[in-house]
Amino acid sequence: MRDEDFGKMVALRGTDIVRVPLAEATARLKTVDPSLYAEAEVFFG
């Protein structure tokens, strides 16, 4: 299905899948807490 909703991406907010304008999604730098890397290492080595 094509709805011509350009300039947006999909994102997961809680349990909802939502459309987010690209400008909003890239407006600020989002980083990952370093402690989460240690958790991920358990699963992915």
pLDDT in tens, 1-45: 567 789 999 999 999 999 999 999 999 998 989 888 888 888 887
What does the block give as tokens for 41?
């290492």
Residue at 2 is within a domain: no
Residue at 26 is within a domain: yes
Distance of alpha carbon 39 from the chain centroid: 19
What does the block give as tokens for 15?
């349990």
Residue at 15 is within a domain: yes
pLDDT of residue 40: 87
pLDDT of residue 27: 95
Residue at 1 is within a domain: no
pLDDT of residue 37: 85
pTM: 0.55
How many structural domains compose the chain? 1
Could you tell me the residue range of the domain that residue 17 belongs to? 8-44
pLDDT of residue 1: 56
Residue at 40 is within a domain: yes
